[in-house]
Amino acid sequence: MKNINNQYGVGLVEVLVALLLLAVAVLGFSAMQMTAVKATDESLMRTRALTIMRGGAETIRANSGGISAFKTAVNGSTDSITIDGVTITKDSCVKNTAGAPAATDSCTIEQLGARDGLLMKSYAVQNDIKLGLVPNGCPGTSGNQERQCFVASWGDTTVTLSDSDANACANANGTYKNGAECFIMEAY
């Protein structure tokens, strides 16, 4: 058998081209996988935020007399609130019974509202979500029944509605900002 000198290394070049194509394909797949993971994380945060806000809306409906204390507790920066000289925490106003916890007879409607707000805020923090209620009701709404606006955010987004804050969830009129990671939900 005769060796042809001009074909030495041709097989090696073919292998190198094949490895280059494989590397490009693997990099493309890796980028696609990272995008999928990010979308899954975003979906999880949205689901958690909606679950928390729905629970808050139901709490407001169940205890409409305690909305003011509920709002103060959710928007506060501490884990307790004082109402009528009584310090309320997320564990207040509950007594343990044989079957399940039940409300105590000694708490007022406002104290129960504050406890519910603190409990909801605690659950949000455990799920890496910032939670707040817009202080003056929902922007652009009016009528006999005041609507509350829950704002839940995660990542670098804050729970504020502001034209000047770059990290705010939305503008003052309630329109979402580009790139904001948050939800706004009306509750009444």
The DSSP annotation for 24-63 comes to HHHHHHHHHHHHHHHHHHHHHHHHHHHHHHHHHHHHHHHT
For residue range 62-96, what is the model confidence (pLDDT) as tens digits? 988 888 899 999 999 888 888 888 888 888 887 76
CA dist., res. 162 & res. 175, Å (int): 10
Six token digits for residue 3 = 């060796």
- Pair 133, 53: CB distance under 8 Å: no
CA dist., res. 50 & res. 65, Å (int): 24
* Distance in Å from the first CA to the final CA of the chain: 90
Q: Is it the case that residue 120 has pLDDT exceeding 60?
A: yes
Residue 100 has a pLDDT of 55
Match 């109402």 to its residue by tokens: 83
pTM of the model: 0.75
User: Which DSSP symbol is given to 121?
Assistant: H
Give the pLDDT band of residue 12 (cuts 50, 70, 90). Answer: confident
E strand or H helix that includes residue 96: strand 94-96
- Pair 127, 154: CB distance under 8 Å: no
Tally the residues of the chain. 188
Residue 136 has a pLDDT of 78
CA dist., res. 46 & res. 179, Å (int): 14
- Pair 66, 84: CB distance under 8 Å: no
